[in-house]
Amino acid sequence: MGVNPDTLPVYFNRMMDVSQDILIIHGDSINKIVNRTNVSDDMLNNIPASETISAAGIYRSIINDTEIDALRINIDEVSPSLTVTVAKLASARHNMLEQYKINSIIICIVAIVLCSVLSPLLIRTGLREIKKLSGVTEALNYNDSREPVEVSALPRELNLLGRR
């Protein structure tokens, strides 16, 4: 009984994301590889093997700007003894960060275009109010400055200032 190395890749294909997960099983007359990434099997074979599974045994490297974490274990409890390499390429994270960068750039460009379109409209509105104020000031007769100014003709914003 026990684990049959011939069937492990089938289970691996169902359980893992084979676009970024790697499984290699080596032993006497056994050589099973599930690797659909751009990582070479030779590079994975150079990972130092350990006898136990631990965080210290995890091998970390960067390949083509993408991180890879791998663990290589010697299993002597079965006959024939096996060397199993399990690795995960962080391509999903790399792709997500790349997409986040693209989305951020698009949002920034849209915000800049929106501001450049709205700015003239807002400036024009502000200039209209200044023009109204200039018209009221021009119509004001300085000789009659003792009389109160008709505030109903002033824009709403200036009415608030005149009451203070």
- 3-state helix, strand, coil split of the chain in percent (to 5) is 50, 20, 30
Residue 2 lies in a domain: no
Domain C-terminal end among 32, 62, 89: 89
Q: Is residue 1 part of a domain?
A: no
Q: Of 89, 110, 143, at which residue does a domain stop? A: 89
Same-domain status, 76 and 119: no
Look up the domain containing 116 and give its range.
98-162
Tens-place pLDDT, residues 91-145: 777 778 889 999 999 999 999 999 999 999 999 988 888 888 888 777 766 655 6
- pLDDT recorded at residue 1: 44
pLDDT band of 162, cuts 50, 70, 90: low
- Check: CB of residue 15 under 8 Å from CB of residue 88: no
62: left (phi over 0), alpha (psi -120 to 50) or beta: beta
Q: Are residues 21 and 80 in the same domain?
A: yes
Q: How far does Cα 105 stand from its chain's mean position? A: 11
Q: Are residues 18 and 52 in the same domain?
A: yes
If one counts the domains in the chain, the total is 2
Query: Would you tell me how many other CB atoms lie within 10 Å of the CB of residue 9?
Result: 16
Does residue 80 lie within any of the structural domains? Answer: yes
Do 73 and 103 lie in a common domain?
no
Specify if 3 maps to a domain: no
pLDDT at 102: 96
Q: Is pTM, for the whole model, over 0.75?
A: no
* Residue in the block written with tokens 């800049």: 112
One domain for residues 76 and 124: no
Report if residue 121 sits inside a domain.
yes
Give the residue-averaged pLDDT of 139-155.
65
Instruction: State which of 65, 89, 113 marks the end of a domain.
Output: 89
Taking CA 39 as the corner, what is the angle to CA 75 and CA 46, rounded to the nearest 5 degrees? 45
Nearest to 47 by CA among 10, 30, 72: 72
Is residue 15 included in any domain, yes or no? yes
Evaluate whether residue 37 is within a structural domain: yes
- β-sheet bridge partners, residue 67: 62
Q: Are residues 31 and 102 in the same domain?
A: no
Note whether 109 and 54 are same-domain residues.
no
Q: 72 — phi, psi (to 5°)?
A: -120, 125
